[in-house]
Amino acid sequence: MRRPLVLVGFCYLLTLAAAVFFGAGASFVLLWICVAGFAVTFVWWRTRRAVAVPLAFAAAAIALAAFCMYSHFAVEPARALDGKTAVVSGTVCELPEQRNGRWYYTVRIDRAADRETPTGFKVRLSSQERLQAGPYSRVSGKICLSLPPGGDGFASRSYYASKGIMMFAYADWGTSLNVSPPVEKPPYYYALRMREKLLDAVDEVLPQEQASLVKGILLGDTDGLSDSLNADFRTDGVSHILSVSGLHMSTIAELMIFLLLFCRVPKRAASLAAACGVFGFMAVTCFVPSVTRSGVMCLLFLAGPLLSRRADPLNSLCAAGLLICLSNPYSAADVGFLLSFFATLGLVICTGPVTRFLNGRFDRVRALRPLVQGVNGVLATSAGATLFTLPIVLLSFGTVSVVSPLANILELVPSSLLMCFGAAAAVFRLLLPQTFLAMPFALAAGLLAKYMSASAASLARIPFASVSASQGFVTLWLAGSLILFAVALFLGKGKRLFPQAACLSVILLLAGIGSFQLSRQDVTRLTVLDGGDGICAVLTRGGHAFVVGCEDYNPQKLISCLSAENTVKLDGIALLTRERDEFACAQTAAARFRPAKVVAYEDTSADGLVRKAANGSILIPFTSRAEVSLWSDVKVELVQSGKASAARVTADGVTVLLRPDGAKAQGLPDGWKNPDFLVAGASVPLSGEFTPACTVFSMDGKTLRKNAAAVAARRSLWTGGSGNLVLNLRKDRSLSVGREK
- Rounded average pLDDT over 125-129: 88
**pLDDT tens digits, residue range 216-237?**
888 888 877 877 788 788 888 8
Confidence of residue 138 (pLDDT cuts 50, 70, 90): very high
First-residue to last-residue Cα distance in the chain:
42
Residue 158 in contact with residue 195, Cβ under 8 Å?
Answer: no
- Rounded average pLDDT over 328-356: 82
Q: What pLDDT shows up at residue 239?
A: 79
Q: Do you know the residue count of the chain? A: 741
Residue 200 in contact with residue 439, Cβ under 8 Å?
Answer: no
d(CA 103, CA 132): 11
> Has residue 148 got a pLDDT over 50?
yes
User: What's the predicted TM-score (pTM) here?
Assistant: 0.75
CB count, 10 Å around CB of 103? 16
Residue 169 in contact with residue 125, Cβ under 8 Å?
Answer: yes
Q: Residue 141: which of 103, 182, 178 has the closest Cα?
A: 178
Give percent of the chain with pLDDT exceeding 70.
87
Confidence of residue 474 (pLDDT cuts 50, 70, 90): low
Same fold, 85-185 and 524-740: no
Confidence of residue 376 (pLDDT cuts 50, 70, 90): confident
More reliable by pLDDT, 304 or 190: 190
Can you give the residue ranges of every domain in the chain?
4-77, 85-185, 189-223+237-345+406-461, 473-519, 524-740
- Rounded average pLDDT over 406-428: 87
**pLDDT tens digits, residue range 635-682?**
999 988 888 888 999 887 788 888 888 888 888 888 888 888 888 876
Q: Could you write out the DSSP letters of every residue in 574-607?
A: E-----HHHHHHHHHHHHHH--SEEEEETT-TTH
> Has residue 90 got a pLDDT over 90?
yes
Q: What pLDDT shows up at residue 132?
A: 86
Give percent of the chain with pLDDT exceeding 90.
17
- Rounded average pLDDT over 134-148: 90
d(CA 273, CA 253): 10
- Rounded average pLDDT over 184-213: 90
Rg (CA), the chain: 27
> Has residue 62 got a pLDDT over 90?
yes
Q: What pLDDT shows up at residue 226?
A: 78
Q: What pLDDT shows up at residue 59?
A: 92
Identity of the residue numbered 1: M
Lowest average pLDDT, out of 209-213, 505-509, 512-516, goes to 512-516
More reliable by pLDDT, 244 or 75: 75
Q: What pLDDT shows up at residue 315?
A: 83
Q: Could you write out the DSSP letters of every residue in 161-201?
A: HHTTEEEEEEEPTT---EEE--S---HHHHHHHHHHHHHHH
Residue 64 in contact with residue 31, Cβ under 8 Å?
Answer: yes
- Rounded average pLDDT over 150-172: 82
d(CA 662, CA 641): 8
Query: Which residues have CB under 8 Å from 531's CB, separation 6+?
Result: 552, 554, 557, 558, 698, 719
Range with the largest mean pLDDT of 143-152, 359-368, 449-458, 657-666: 449-458
CB count, 10 Å around CB of 512? 18
d(CA 133, CA 667): 49
Q: What pLDDT shows up at residue 710?
A: 66
Task: Classify residue 543 as left (phi > 0), alpha (psi -120 to 50) or beta.
Answer: left
Q: Where do the DSSP E strands lie in 300-384?
A: none
- Rounded average pLDDT over 367-376: 73
> Has residue 43 got a pLDDT over 90?
no
Superfamily of chain region 524-740: Ribonuclease Z/Hydroxyacylglutathione hydrolase-like (3.60.15.10)
Residue 296 in contact with residue 311, Cβ under 8 Å?
Answer: no
Does the domain spanning 85-185 belong to CATH 3.30.70? Answer: no
Phi, psi dihedrals of residue 245, rounded to the nearest 5°: -155, -145
Confidence of residue 598 (pLDDT cuts 50, 70, 90): confident
Query: Within 285-331, where are the H helices?
Result: 289-307, 313-327
- Rounded average pLDDT over 403-409: 82
> Has residue 285 got a pLDDT over 90?
no
Confidence of residue 100 (pLDDT cuts 50, 70, 90): low
Q: Which residues pair with 737 in a beta bridge?
A: 727
Instruction: Report the SS3 class of residue 323.
Output: helix
Range with the largest mean pLDDT of 358-367, 552-561, 653-662: 653-662
Mean pLDDT, the chain, rounded, equals 81
Query: Within 23-88, where are the H helices?
Result: 24-43, 45-50, 52-70, 76-79
Q: What pLDDT shows up at residue 489?
A: 67
Quote the crossing angle between the two packed helices 208-219 and 187-205, to the nearest 10°. Answer: 150
- Rounded average pLDDT over 368-372: 72
Q: Would you say the C-alpha torsion 178, 183, 188, 194 has a positive or negative sign?
A: positive
Quote the crossing angle between the two packed helices 313-327 and 289-307, to the nearest 10°. Answer: 130
Q: What pLDDT shows up at residue 357?
A: 76
Q: What angle do CA 69, 72, 73 make, to 5 degrees?
A: 85
Confidence of residue 91 (pLDDT cuts 50, 70, 90): very high
Task: Classify residue 23 as left (phi > 0), alpha (psi -120 to 50) or beta.
Answer: left
d(CA 159, CA 148): 9
Q: What pLDDT shows up at residue 307?
A: 61
Phi, psi dihedrals of residue 334, rounded to the nearest 5°: -85, 105
Q: What is the DSSP letter of 617?
A: P
Q: What pLDDT shows up at residue 144?
A: 92
d(CA 232, CA 454): 10
Range with the largest mean pLDDT of 48-62, 66-80, 90-104, 627-641: 66-80
Q: What pLDDT shows up at residue 613?
A: 47
| Cis status of the peptide bond prior to 685, with omega within 30 of 0 | yes
Confidence of residue 407 (pLDDT cuts 50, 70, 90): confident
Identity of the residue numbered 286: C
- Rounded average pLDDT over 164-192: 88
Identity of the residue numbered 700: D
More reliable by pLDDT, 165 or 534: 165
